[in-house]
Structure 1
């Protein structure tokens, strides 16, 4: 029988106690369907969190069917849940209105914001061959709106608001087929919504030549959406700024998340944003000015970061 002396045991115990424990926090990030730009953003955020915290925060990206589902899942999720949504949707959930009518829950009142992500940006993309340079020239042309998406619904709404309802031909083609349909002349243009620069618009501009329409200030006012400017040079052949509309999107959690985790998530996002932008240009359109679009209160941990960074939040956001 081997005898272990007490001094050795004491020394071993002291060494164990002196060794720092490597804490690992796991977070679930729920955003959009696999293959979408917003799912790709989630993957980039997960990579940035791992690198920026040296592995102390591990983010698992989870597929979602949409923002309404993301918000509804707050009721059953814990403090490790982060999700994306337009800020306006949070207000509807907390007020129990629209798609949340009869589905209100006290958990919705505990939703708190962390940071903005690229906005859903409207693109009205017309082929150079169509000769369309403004909305009035779209009459009697064939336009692809897609089906069931935010961009399709928003595009249809805008056409009605701008007096084009019933005056254009709507192509029965899925949005995934927009670029080939534009190239072979099946359609004169298509409508898409997503972060900018949008991959399908990049492809269309490079392969076919397109004009992305700008909206006037009056048109933007009637849409009741946020004004957004896509800088000149974003797409091939684009010599001037594109003025369009957007639906702001942000990352949220709830008060169940501890302050330190919310702080680290927020800090790491902003400090890693330039590196993410080097790999995907859509991050370059995100800056602190987008915080003004978030009407929900920010998590106390996120507020701590913004205070340290000298970024002012409105009283209603605290």
Structure 2
């Protein structure tokens, strides 16, 4: 009988050790094999976040002892915040405006505030491009009144960008025919002439806009100085941006726009040393980021805190202080 009890106790003890070894996500905890699992929440496979996330996974796996990082395709910023909050991702790609809403409990996070979100680094500008076809006769943002305008999917980051920019220009949704369309739906409808203009939040040049420009002469609608100043004074996470001439076929002049910033974020509970190593090795392997996507060349420590809209994680703060930034 004593042997049976001893055997049972041994099984229970081994099970307890196994469960303890599979420690929680979001803290940088190790698995039973000493590995540090890093699930990177990115975006759609055709976007910018996904290839950069894959490059980061490769960098961290090669340069951080025990790292086991993988990039996951997701619904991007808003979905990623929820994955982080639920402990289903360790690192997320997110727009700095969405991170701001998350931390402060505003906009789409009005009833879902998450104060434990922390920044690792800002990466590159995501420009709000307002595109139309030349045959629509729209040359300024005021010309959008009465037009069918795609503002992004309902509740998306793009939709919030569109509403805030229109507000700064003195235009409400009552002044336009609002079309809640996703990125791809907006591009297809503009190509087919079913809508008059579309808001697109993405790094330029954007493949979908290039595709429209290959079939129709396009116009990027510029923002006037007053609209830009009004917008930035109310929403400081925006920055003034100039889209250079010839970014798209037929675009012969520079166009003034505004941008938000793509950034990386983690939980406040995430391990400080791991966060430090992730930021450090990311910047030490910029060639791999550039190989993954053109915007990789914009990911530098000199701009890593520009537009940071939430508190920095202590691990990231340690890195930037170390390099004098």
Pairwise same-fold verdict (TM > 0.5): yes
Length-normalised TM-score, structure 2: 0.71
Change (3 A) 1:233 1:24: farther
Deviation, 1:278, is: 4.0
Task: Write out aligned runs for 1:83-122 (5 A).
Answer: 83-90=92-99, 92-95=101-104, 108-109=115-116, 111-122=117-128
Q: CA RMSD in A?
A: 3.5
Change (3 A) 1:229 1:97: same
Aligned to 2:87: 77
Distance 2:243 2:287 in 1: 18
State whether structure 2 residue 211 is matched by structure 1 residue 197: no
Distance 1:193 1:58 in 2: 31
Change (3 A) 1:205 1:284: farther
> Residues 197 and 282 of structure 1 are in contact (CA less than 8 Å); yes or no, is this contact kept in structure 2?
no
> Residues 33 and 65 of structure 1 are in contact (CA less than 8 Å); yes or no, is this contact kept in structure 2?
yes
Unaligned runs of 5+ in 1: 1-21, 313-318
> Residues 283 and 299 of structure 2 are in contact (CA less than 8 Å); yes or no, is this contact kept in structure 1?
no
Deviation, 1:176, is: 1.7
Distance 2:153 2:119 in 1: 30
SS in 1 for 2:139: coil
SS in 2 for 1:293: coil
> Residues 96 and 261 of structure 2 are in contact (CA less than 8 Å); yes or no, is this contact kept in structure 1?
yes
State whether structure 2 residue 151 is matched by structure 1 residue 145: yes
Aligned to 1:129: 135
Aligned to 1:32: 43
Aligned to 2:257: 244
State whether structure 2 residue 248 is matched by structure 1 residue 235: yes
CA shift digits 1:30-80 (9 cap, x unpaired): 2335554433432332234345x28853322234445455445555539x8
Deviation, 1:24, is: 4.7
State whether structure 2 residue 274 is matched by structure 1 residue 261: yes
Distance 1:227 1:133 in 2: 19
SS in 2 for 1:47: helix
Aligned to 2:161: 154
Deviation, 1:183, is: 3.4
Deviation, 1:266, is: 0.7
Unaligned runs of 5+ in 2: 1-32
Task: Write out aligned runs for 1:27-66 (5 A).
Answer: 27-33=38-44, 35-51=46-62, 53=63, 56-65=66-75
State whether structure 2 residue 293 is matched by structure 1 residue 280: yes
Q: Which moved more, 1:214-223 or 1:132-141?
A: 132-141
Deviation, 1:82, is: 1.4
Deviation, 1:115, is: 1.4
Distance 2:45 2:166 in 1: 30
